[in-house]
Structure 1
């Protein structure tokens, strides 16, 4: 199937009226709907925005390819739009977009349709083709240009499929993106085009929505000088064990193909040793934006633990609606449904938090072989009442023990690699991490936790308020970063130990930044752009939901004024929560749990309101009007 069969005169707009990203999505979707290609226009638009949240489809060079595969599409279709003045579409190169191809794939689209839709994205890499589309005076000229370019592409694909003489260097690549329609194939073509210019023989496997295409064979992997993975999705890597491997984001495959290819043939790429470990890494090889070291491992554990915290915590809070002791069969407040909620949330979801935390920390360090030792060590920490500190120690202990085991058993031949994974690492990893936890860690950490609880219980009012100020302020310093997570993890540990006051200060401090900013955008409209005021409205919801990260865009845009304002407001709220004697029995939930899980909730709301107002006033007074 050719592109011209999916692109029609009634799905082409040569002069877009839109002036913003949201408007262009709306205008193109309206054309699609008017052509009778959509079952539900709003559902389709929502799916487009959902894809944009993963990464912008503004690929740069004046081109944007918004796309979605959804049941809202009746039949696969392409919508073409052109803007001579250009539209800000959050492009990768920061420049306005002029050419828009909205790809609408139906949920049941066959492979032929998906391949055709994906082929379009690869054509747009050619600058002369883009210029031809910009100059086309009629819709017919656009279709002719696309037909001619597509035929050249199909001819090149046929030549590529035939055997070619071996080049001096042979590189394999794998590309993949979350949707698997556009970026996957653009990265593949970008790598192939640049490899041809550099005289490098290459084969690219694509992990698209129509499945794996051009799959790499064992013989090809054995012959390859290096492998490039340019993907934002999980790729099977064990087949590359012993080969030089470069990992990067799919956008790097589009924007930085020459850099990746030169690194691949230089002989300096890291050797992948299998089971998630490479001999060396650097920023370019491990992918843009990826963190490493302690923080990366800790966040892997915390992020995978959070669903248990949020889901279990809110179920616990719901059980409190029936009465604080309604889950207890011996209480006069007893209600069987409250007991069920508490059993699911507190007796199961919460009981898994520490083992899951430890397991995913260990897995981040040692890949899959670290998971089982981390889970068992975390369960020992939980059973031994050593709390979150014990879970953190268990995760790092198990992870690095497995890394050590990999080095110790490195003498085993590659033919026995499977034995190491299913026998050696589980047996020795579980035994060693479990033994160390039982004999050396659980007891001292349990004693330390008991001492900490006793110390907190013995604090006078002044010291308790200072602790609340510190914890509340920490929640606003980096808004979801390591300092914020350190305070949050401390609060969880205190809940686990039966002290519910610190986490009340922590949640209050975490709710203030987005709420304070939202209030500032309402009270001081002349200090914010229209876009910022619109974003401020969503911060009411994010703040009420205890999502501190809603403040990040405002803090990034004006850190000198915003960050001090939110820290002061959060610190005040945290201190007041402690002063008012508030306690919080649920670890998460924001406004959804305040009325049922917070002791003395009216004063707690007052503490949050005061902190939010202080933040709003400080921002309002510190910021300058936008027209200046």
Structure 2
């Protein structure tokens, strides 16, 4: 059972890894269009009325927004296709794509797309392993039987069995998130931020980030804002800790701290991993709380990030970007100060002493002293 769960997790993570570049491309293209529109005082550049604008640049910006939307619209087919691909190689791509498109059409959401990919992959795997034809007809299985039967079974299961409950779940989630306000929205942001700061690029982090990004297609931006703030707080905070408390860190971690700040600024949580591995019980509570504080502050004070971009190059496209940057700074400072205070003040010295002891040869020293 444990192996099955591990395999499913790996298949889903494979699908996510193929989906993320597509989501980033689409969202950044849309952000460029909307920032351009804001220069003309336009807050809804996606509205069809701008397709007939007398200003050619506004028409272009409207078209660019549509191109970004096209890329985002492929998110569900792509994640479903590559989950299936992870299970059964290229045989699963066609059923996965069709299943993902159906999920998009019936609004079954991100979870529906994951289910579609798993169904397509395991159906195709079963057909490949159990349908045996004479040697003269063996080539029919991969080029005809699996694409046709795999796709048909996948769409039937989605449309008549799982589609309605997943669509209801997705709609309920969207309505609930859109209905959140005040303290409830701040609490949601804190939970998303804490999840992102928990395992620094691991499964809990990815679950929060990818769900938040998926909700962008439904116009729900608060979870994404929380997630993108939280992604960069741990690496920046832990990097700053090595600056504020130099004596508490050995040379190796000081060097890791420099890299961690840079990785944080470009939106890579994994820069914090060396610190978490070295002292998890002292680092992880700081990263969870610091990320939660920064995320809650950004969302609570009205910052809105409509693109799945955490790096500094996307900060100025955020609505109320000064609040957004301040929230990142507050969260990072909390991580830096708390992790430095929790750390043993002799932690940086002990390793140096240990290294000196390892290099000390007592017999050679005694011989030299006697001579």
Question: Which residue of structure 2 aligns with residue 369 of structure 1?
Answer: 91
Q: Describe the superposition over 1:51-107 as per-residue Cα deviations: whole angstroms up to 9, x where unpaired.
A: xxxxxxxxxxxxxxxxxxxxxxxxxxxxxxxxxxxxxxxxxxxxxxxxxxxxxxxxx
Match of 2:10 among 270, 290, 296: 296
CA contact (8 A) 2:250 2:349 kept: no
CA contact (8 A) 1:573 1:607 kept: yes
Q: CA deviation at 1:393?
A: 1.1
Q: CA deviation at 1:586?
A: 0.7
Match of 1:474 among 195, 198, 201: 195
Q: Describe the superposition over 1:197-241 as per-residue Cα deviations: whole angstroms up to 9, x where unpaired.
A: xxxxxxxxxxxxxxxxxxxxxxxxxxxxxxxxxxxxxxxxxxxxx
TM-score of the superposed pair, with normalisation by structure 1: 0.51
Please show how residues 162-561 of structure 1 align to structure 2 within 5 Å. Answer: 292-322=6-36, 323=38, 324-328=43-47, 330-331=49-50, 335-347=58-70, 349-409=71-131, 411-561=132-282
Q: 1:425 to 1:548 in 2, by over 3 A?
A: same
Question: Which residue of structure 2 aligns with residue 157 of structure 1?
Answer: none
Question: Which residue of structure 2 aligns with residue 94 of structure 1?
Answer: none
Q: 1:535 to 1:335 in 2, by over 3 A?
A: farther
TM-score of the superposed pair, with normalisation by structure 2: 0.84
CA contact (8 A) 1:309 1:588 kept: no
Question: Which residue of structure 1 aligns with residue 338 of structure 2?
Answer: 618
Runs of 4+ in 1 over 6 A off after TM superposition: none
Q: Describe the superposition over 1:28-64 as per-residue Cα deviations: whole angstroms up to 9, x where unpaired.
A: xxxxxxxxxxxxxxxxxxxxxxxxxxxxxxxxxxxxx
1:605 aligns with 2:319: no
Q: 1:319 to 1:537 in 2, by over 3 A?
A: farther
Cα RMSD over matched residues? 2.1
Q: Which has the higher contact order (CA 8 A, sep 6+)?
A: 2
Identify, as 1 or 2, the structure richer in helix: 2
CA contact (8 A) 1:313 1:589 kept: no
Q: Describe the superposition over 1:462-512 as per-residue Cα deviations: whole angstroms up to 9, x where unpaired.
A: 222211111001001111111011101220232111111111011111111
CA contact (8 A) 2:231 2:310 kept: no
Q: Describe the superposition over 1:436-455 as per-residue Cα deviations: whole angstroms up to 9, x where unpaired.
A: 22233333322221211222
Question: Which residue of structure 1 aligns with residue 366 of structure 2?
Answer: none
Q: CA deviation at 1:383?
A: 2.2
Secondary structure at 1:553's aligned position in 2?
Answer: helix
Q: CA deviation at 1:602?
A: 1.4
Secondary structure at 1:582's aligned position in 2?
Answer: coil
Match of 1:572 among 268, 293, 303: 293
CA contact (8 A) 1:501 1:581 kept: no
Secondary structure at 2:306's aligned position in 1?
Answer: coil
> Mind listing any 5+ residue stretches in structure 1 that lack a counterpart?
1-281, 283-290
CA contact (8 A) 1:362 1:396 kept: yes
**In 1, Cα distance between equivalents of 2:127 and 2:271:** 42
**In 1, Cα distance between equivalents of 2:127 and 2:47:** 46
Q: CA deviation at 1:387?
A: 2.0
CA contact (8 A) 1:327 1:335 kept: no
CA contact (8 A) 2:232 2:311 kept: yes
> Mind listing any 5+ residue stretches in structure 2 that lack a counterpart?
351-371
Q: 1:335 to 1:614 in 2, by over 3 A?
A: same
Question: Which residue of structure 2 aligns with residue 259 of structure 1?
Answer: none
